[in-house]
Structure 1
Amino acid sequence: MSDISVNDSVYEANMGDYFALLKPRVMSLVVFTALVGLLVAPVPVHPFIGFVGILCIAVGAGASGALNMWWDADIDSQMKRTAGRPIPSGRVAPGEALAIGLALSSFAIVLLALATNFLAAFLLAFTVFFYAVIYSMWLKRSTPQNIVIGGAAGAFPPMIGWAIATGGVSIESVLMFGLIFMWTPPHFWSLALFVKSDYGNAGVPMLTETHGRDATRRHILIYMLLLVPVALGLGLTSIGGPIYMSVAVIMNAWFLKGSYDIWRRTDADCEADKHAVEINAFKVSLYYLFLHFGALLAEAALRPYGLGGW
C-alpha cells in the first residue's frame, strides 16, 4: 500500500480506498443485469462457469471505474460531488489507479475468454474500452450527448451474460441492451434538473449546462418515448411473458407520465415546489430497471413449471 502526502501529513491507503476506485454502486447494477442476461438465456450454464463469468464482468466493470477515475482526476477535484474520491482526495496515487485498472481489466478479459467463450470476452473488452476511452477520454468532455452515448457501456452487461450462455447475440440480448441504453438519459437528466452540479466549472459539457433546462426537459421526453417501444418489444420475445409485460406497461406508463409532466414545467414551477416532479420521476427511474430485469428473472424461474413465458 502507498503512502500519500495529504496536507503535510502521510496517509496510508487502505483496501477501502482501492475498492472505492471500482465504483461499487455502479458495479452492483452491472452484476445484476449481467446475471439476469445469463439466467434468462435458453442455454443452461454450469453454476461454476456462471459464477466465474459474472465475477469477470464485475471485475471488468470495476476496472473501468478505476480507469475513469484516473483520467477524470483533474475534473473530479473541481466538483464537490467527486472531490472526495480516492485520487483527488490524495488517498490513492493516479499511477496506482491506472495500474489497477489495466491489471484488473486484462485479468477479467483473459479469464472470461478461457472460462467461457471469445465473444463474451470481446464484448467485455469492448465495454471497458468504450467506457475508459470513448466515453471518459473523448465524449464526456466534447459533447452534451455524452451521457447518451456513454450509457452504452452500462448497457452491455446483460448482453455479455447472454453471450456467456449462448456464445452469440440475439434480439433478446440486443433489446436488453437497448432497455438500459434508452433508460440512461431520462434517468440521469431528471436527476440533473434538481441537483445543482458544477460540471460547467469543471468544463464538462453536460446538457443542462450547454443547452439549458428547457432543452433538457424536451430531451427527457424524447428519450422516454423511444424507451417505451424497446421495453414493450422485449416483452414479446422468447424471454418475455405476462409478468414482464404487466410490469413494463405499468412502469413505462408511470415513467412516461413523469417525463411528460417534467416537459410541461418551467423553472418557476420547479422553484415553487422544490423540484417535486423531477424528484418523483427520478425515484421512478430507480425502480424501473430493477423491476424490468426482475420480471425477466421471474419469467425464467417459472418457465420450467409452465407458468412463465407466453
Structure 2
Amino acid sequence: MVFTPALLDNSGRLTRRLLQSWQKIPEDTPVSDETRNHVILCGYGRVGQNLMRYLTSFHLKAVAVDRDLVRLQEASAAGEHILFGDASRQEILVNAGIKSARLLVVTFDDPRLAERILHTARGLNPNIRILVRTRDDTHLDALIEAGAEEVVPEVLEASLMLVAHALMMLDVPFDRVMATLRKTRRERYRMLQGYYHGDTLPTTDSAGNPYRLLHAVTLSDKARGIGRSIAHCALRDVEIRAVKRQDKTLESPDEELVLEPGDTVILYGPLEAVEAAENRLLGG
C-alpha cells in the first residue's frame, strides 16, 4: 500500500519501459528452431508456470503468452521464453509459432476468452492439439465444440484425484484405479456430474444456464410410473442416471426398462424439469 501512489503516478512510464524492452516479432519472420515443435502456454500465472517447470524438466520447449507486464518482466529477467499479448489475436499466436507448435494449452479459467483462442488457433493450425483448463464442467461441451481436444475441469479433477487416492489406500490395484480414471475422463466426467444439494440451491451456473442437480424419487405401489417403461413415462429434459432396485443399481438404464414398486429413480437435470419428472412418475 505504501508504494501504490508512486506506482500509479509512474504507471505510464513503467509500461513504456516494459514495452520498449519487449521486441515484437514480425508476422512474416520464420519461426526459429527454438520455437518449433513446441508448446504454447496461453496465460503464465501459477498454473502456466508450474506446467512450464515440468515441461522443462522433460526437455520440452515452450513459449508463454501473457498480458501482465510485471509478470512479463519478471519471467523475461529469469530467462524464460514469454511474449506479451492477447493470445486470442492472430498475430500474437503467429509470433508464438502456432503454425509449427505441437500443443497449445489455455492455463487460465476464462471460458469465453478460451473459445476465442480456440477459434483463432484452429484457423491458423487446424491440426494442433489443444488442452483447456476450466474451473468446472459448465462450458465443457462448448469448448469441445470450439476445438479443444481435452478440457480439464479443476473441481472434477480434484474429486477424481481424491477418488484415486482413496481407492489406492484401500488396496485397489493401481491398474484398476488408472483404468477408472481413464474411463471417467473418456466419458467427459459424466459420473462426477451432478450432486445432491443441501439447503441452498443455485438457480443458474456460471454461464447463466439453469443449474442441474441429482434427485432421487422412490416409487410407491400407487405411483403412476409403476408398470410403465421409462420411454412410456415421457420424461422431458432430464436424464435417468440410474434405477436402484432392491440391492442392485442399474446404471444408465435402457428406455425399455419397466418400473416396479420400490424402485428409486435417480434423475439429473434442471430443477424445474426434475420437479416435472417427479410429478409424472408419482402421479402428482
Q: TM-score normalized by structure 2?
A: 0.23
Structure with bigger gyration radius: 2
Structure with more strand by fraction: 2
Structure with more helix by fraction: 1
Q: TM-score normalized by structure 1?
A: 0.22
